[in-house]
């Protein structure tokens, strides 16, 4: 398909933006390598050593097992936070006596409560284990789910909902066939946001309150002054989250945008 004259400046701008981004990444990598040559490896390992450590994470059985535990913590926390957030958002939408309680009390409280606070409380209540990690991360993610889904419920197309009510008075059918599909973009936004936040929080939770996971391995490496593994874990998580964002979430976002576009 030929590109129209009006589209050429946009395409050129996008290409320039990509070159700027790639150039910045290469410059940062070069500066990192140069500086790593002037200091001991235990202070700042070079890109080659860090890349070898990242490869070790996926090839060494022990490190791979810790990575899988972190993935389990992330998925469990996101799932629990989504279900609880959906329940709270639906309760606020459907049960008016609970609306002020959820919107004016519970959601602001959960949104303002410190993540470190949840972690310390969960350590006191559950000890140092996976339950502590999942509980702390879930409590931190719940406000993201409530706010996103609640926003979706408030912004649903009133005319379409009224049309649905005129066709059937069955609330379950109305919810399943109309409300849920219309909430799909907000569900996706909730999961996309929660995924990135969960990995950040899980590392901290495992570092202080976990007995397994990549954050726990980070603590072990810190105690052993294994700087290469510390940098490798950090770089690996950044690369992993970025790749999931580019290869999974971004294409899904484009498909959802086309599907629910009102143009």
Read off the pLDDT of residues 101-160 as tens digits, 9 standing for 90 and up: 998 899 999 999 988 899 999 999 998 899 999 999 999 999 999 999 998 888 875 666
Assigned domain for 14 exists: no
Do residues 183 and 149 make contact, with C-beta atoms less than 8 angstroms apart?
Answer: yes
Q: pLDDT band at residue 23, thresholds of 50, 70 and 90?
A: confident
**Distance between CA atoms of 165 and 95, rounded to whole angstroms?**
18
State whether residue 114 is helix, strand or coil. Answer: coil
Read off the pLDDT of residues 53-98 as tens digits, 9 standing for 90 and up: 889 888 889 889 999 999 999 999 999 999 999 999 989 888 888 8
* pLDDT surpasses 70 at 192: yes
pLDDT at 198: 92
Counting every residue, how long is the chain? 263
Assigned domain for 122 exists: yes
- Window from 14-28, 39-53, 155-169, 232-246 with minimum mean pLDDT: 155-169
For the chain, what is the domain count? 1
Assigned domain for 259 exists: no
Assigned domain for 26 exists: no
Read off the pLDDT of residues 241-260 as tens digits, 9 standing for 90 and up: 999 998 998 888 888 877 76
pLDDT at 1: 45
* pLDDT surpasses 70 at 262: no
Burial (0-12, 13-18, 19+ Cβ within 10 Å), 70: buried
Q: Which domain holds residue 169?
A: 59-213
Do residues 215 and 204 make contact, with C-beta atoms less than 8 angstroms apart?
Answer: yes
Assigned domain for 13 exists: no
């Amino acid at each position: 398909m030929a590109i129209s004259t009006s589209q050429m400046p946009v395409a050129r701008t996008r290409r320039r933006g990509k070159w700027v981004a790639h150039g910045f990444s290469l410059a940062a990598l070069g500066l990192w390598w140069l500086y790593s040559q002037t200091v001991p490896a235990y202070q700042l390992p070079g890109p080659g050593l860090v890349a070898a450590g990242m490869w070790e994470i996926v090839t060494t059985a022990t490190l791979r097992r810790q990575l899988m535990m972190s993935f389990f913590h992330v998925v469990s926390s996101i799932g629990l936070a989504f279900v609880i957030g959906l329940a709270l958002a639906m309760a606020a939408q459907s049960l008016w006596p609970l609306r002020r309680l959820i919107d004016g009390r519970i959601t602001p409280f959960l949104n303002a409560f410190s993540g470190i606070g949840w972690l310390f409380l969960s350590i006191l209540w559950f000890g140092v284990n996976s339950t502590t990690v999942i509980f702390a991360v879930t409590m931190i993610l719940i406000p993201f789910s409530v706010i996103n889904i609640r926003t979706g419920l408030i912004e649903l197309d009133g005319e379409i909902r009224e049309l649905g009510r005129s066709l059937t008075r069955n609330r379950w059918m109305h919810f399943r066939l109309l409300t849920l599909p219309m909430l799909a973009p907000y569900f996706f936004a909730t999961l996309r946001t929660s995924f990135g936040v969960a990995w950040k929080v899980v590392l901290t939770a495992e570092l202080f309150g976990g007995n397994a996971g990549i954050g726990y391995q980070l603590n072990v490496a810190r105690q052993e002054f294994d700087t290469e593994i510390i940098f490798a874990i950090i770089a690996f998580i950044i690369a992993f989250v970025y790749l999931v964002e580019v290869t999974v979430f971004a294409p899904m976002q484009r498909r959802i945008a086309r599907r629910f576009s009102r143009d």
